[in-house]
Amino acid sequence: MIEVKNLSKYYGEFQALKNISFSIKKSSIVGLIGSNGAGKTTIIKNVVKLLEPDSGEILLDGKNISKLSEYPVSYIPDEPVYFEELTLYENLLFLCKIYKSDKNKILELSDRFKISEYFNNFPSQLSKGNQQKMMIVFSILRGFDLLIADEPFNGLDPEQINEFKNLLISLRDEGKTILLSTHMLDLAETICDSFIFINRGMLVAEGTKKELLDLSKSSKNSLESIFIDLVNQRGHI
Ligand code: ATP
């Protein structure tokens, strides 16, 4: 279980996160939902330890993540990250070595996400969607308990969205915990067990769709209507 407690983060004078608290249950898929600039990427970067909280703490099974020598997290960033001078296959082989992963996973995952045909290309030569598929394969190659994904569906075609959804569901069913940010609320509804709504660096609400619907005054029951309604009710507190 991940617990974020009273997390605050500044960029210079600007406070991007204001005392945010939420928790994520093991073996669940949680959607981090917020408008542009709400603070999703900043939360994610704190959870994957790319940024350090200015105050507050993040706990994994009760232990502060800053004190863990091993943190079993894998991360799909919102922008692709790779070794520019290595081909796609060389990137995959290199990551496999670092993570001590089974080399067979490279082919299995690359075939599943249809990037094997680009093995000899440099990642910079791939289309945006294929780079996103590459980032998905990179992240799954390593062993992890917690997968954090920043807008992972961006650029994927409908078939690959479906493939990635199925993969997330099977990972969750194996016991992995997944936090993903997305603006695709229709899609989030179909896979997330619960949601964290944020606005202007503040927590608006968290819970299952049913719990959020009960909190909102929305007469429509789409996640989008519930989100808009709760942000209007509570977003500027
Ligand atoms: P989006 O949906 O547009 O990707 P987001 O919810 O991921 O947005 P963040 O990227 O976390 O939002 O940004 C939160 C706030 O912090 C925004 O106001 C943004 O302008 C600001 N911010 C983010 N990174 C920096 C930075 N490096 N320096 C200064 N301000 C920043």
Q: Is the beta carbon of 16 within 6 A of some atom in ligand 1?
A: yes
- Report the 10 Å Cβ neighbour count for 107: 13
Atom of ligand 1 nearest to the CA of 181: 7
Give the span between the Cα atoms of 88 and 151, in whole angstroms.
22
The band of 220, judged by pLDDT with boundaries at 50, 70 and 90, is confident
Please say if the pLDDT value at position 237 is more than 50: no
DSSP state of 229: H
- Say what the pLDDT of residue 171 is: 96
Tell the residue nearest (CA) to atom 25 of ligand 1. Answer: 11
Strand stretches in the chain, DSSP E: 2-11, 14-24, 29-34, 55-60, 63-64, 73-76, 146-150, 177-181, 194-199, 202-207
Beta strand 29-34 pairing with 177-181: parallel
Q: Is the beta carbon of 204 within 6 A of some atom in ligand 1?
A: no
Note the pLDDT tens digit of each residue in 6-21.
Answer: 999 999 999 999 999 9
Q: Compute the average pLDDT of residues 146-163.
A: 95
Atom of ligand 1 nearest to the CA of 43: 11
The band of 234, judged by pLDDT with boundaries at 50, 70 and 90, is confident
Q: Name the pTM for this structure.
A: 0.94
Mutate to test the pocket of ligand 1, among 10, 14, 50 (most ligand atoms within 8 A of CB): 14
